[in-house]
Amino acid sequence: MFQIRIHGRGGQGVVSAAEMMSTAAFLEGKHAQAFPSFGSERTGAPVVSYCRIDDKEIRLREPILDPDAVIIQDPTLFQALDVFQGLAPGGFVLINSTRSFEELGISQFLDTLPKEHVCAVGATELAIQHVGRPVPNAALLGGFAAITGRLHFKSVDAAIRKKFGGRIGDGNVAAALAAFEAVQAA
């Protein structure tokens, strides 16, 4: 089983991100379970969502306490909570930021992880460029596929289009592809 925890703020599509991730895994024939943190969601408040991916039925219903990967949609959360809590040794970290890990104040922790398991991508900028709105979730899915190799980009593309039709779907897929390529090149 591969477990992903997504941290962000209300309005950034944190819950949709987990949903689309589960759809992408489903399209690859996997079992996948996505669920929100069940908080009182408010715009700007910290929100957590979860996704589990496995080859067999997923029965577990506890929140993800020991993720294999964390996606941080909002780097200001580092001051608010320990987003890396329980992260598996050798786990993956994907951060939505154009700033360096030193600037973000997290380089000490990230140094404990394999270098190729850690990446930052300016997903908000890519979303503004391709979608016209600062919603980084779809771009980060592209980045997730690249850094973990757990999903084919083709499935991410299909999952995004299942959630968003028409031009919004096209824009989000373009943002995801740009992030996918940026992370692969990093």
Partner 1 sequence: MLKQIEGSHAVAESVALCRPEVICAYPISPQTHIVEGVGDMVKSGELQNCEFINVESEFAALSVAIGSSAAGARTYTATASQGLLFMAEAVYNAAGLGLPIVMTIGNRAIGAPINIWNDHTDSMSMRDAGWIQLFAETNQEAADLHIQAFKLAEELSVPVMVCMDGFILTHAYERVDIPDQAMVDDYLPPFKPRQVLDPTDPYSIGAMVGPEAFTEVRYLAHDRQICALEVIPRIADEFKALFGRDSGGLLHTYRTEDAETIVVTLGSVAGTVKDTVDLMRENGSKIGVVSICSFRPFPKDPIRNVLEQAKRVVVLEKSFALGFGGIVANNVMMSMQGTGVHVYTAVAGLGGRQITRASLATLFEKVGRDELEDVHFLDLDWEVVNRELDRARESATSGPTAENILRDLDLGPGVAKAV
What residues make contact with partner 1 under the rule CB under 8 A? Answer: 18-19, 22-23, 26-27, 31-40, 46-48, 58-63, 65
- Comparing CB distances to partner 1, the nearer of 26 and 92 is 26
> CB neighbours of 19 closer than 8 A, spacing ≥ 6?
34, 163
Q: In what helix (H) or strand (E) does residue 46 lie, and over which residues does it extend?
A: strand 46-54
Nearest C-alpha neighbor of 7 from the set 36, 42, 40, 43:
36
Helix (H, G, I), strand (E, B) or coil at 66: coil
- Chain centroid, CA 155 distance in Å: 15
Min dist CB 29 to partner 1, Å, is 10
Min dist CB 48 to partner 1, Å, is 6
Min dist CB 100 to partner 1, Å, is 29
- Comparing CB distances to partner 1, the nearer of 33 and 120 is 33
Min dist CB 111 to partner 1, Å, is 29
DSSP annotation of 43:
B
- Comparing CB distances to partner 1, the nearer of 26 and 101 is 26
